[in-house]
Amino acid sequence: MQFQDLLAYKRSFALAMKIFQISKSFPVEEKYSLTDQIRRSSRSVSANIAEAYRKRRYPKNFISKLTDSDAENSETQTWLEFALACKYIEQGHFNEFIKESEEVGKLINYMINNHSKFGSE
């Protein structure tokens, strides 16, 4: 199994790509602020899952990287709230993205709570 096979990775990657696509429509003045931040945090969710999987032999490191992933997921939700408040995204997209983000969070927490199932001793 590779990290790309993990459901949490697949879902977080898909969400990051949706966020990337919609953030293309954000105003130019947001390029180095909201647009950059939301893209970075959403991508970091997947990146941290990948790193965690490579460290799965060491439970504390595995859990720590997954915790980082969960934190990035929460940060992404905050940036989505800003995007909604600034009227850069519609309520429907916001609801969809938050729902998907919450599902990713549940998957990450499942991995944390059941780390031995993922090869973490």
Tens digit of pLDDT per residue, the chain (121 long)?
899 999 999 999 999 999 999 999 999 999 889 999 999 999 999 999 999 999 999 999 999 999 999 999 999 999 999 999 999 999 999 999 999 999 999 999 999 999 999 886 6
pLDDT recorded at residue 26: 97
How many residues does the structure list for the chain? 121
pTM of the model: 0.95
Q: How does DSSP classify residue 118?
A: G
User: In a 10 Å sphere around its CB, with 0-12 CB exposed, 13-18 middle and 19+ buried, how is residue 6 labelled?
Assistant: buried
**Whole-number Å distance between alpha carbons of 55 and 77:** 26
Contact 46, 109 (CB under 8 A): no
Nearest-10 Cα torsion for 91, 92, 94, 100: 160
Domain 3-118 carries which CATH code?
1.20.1440.60
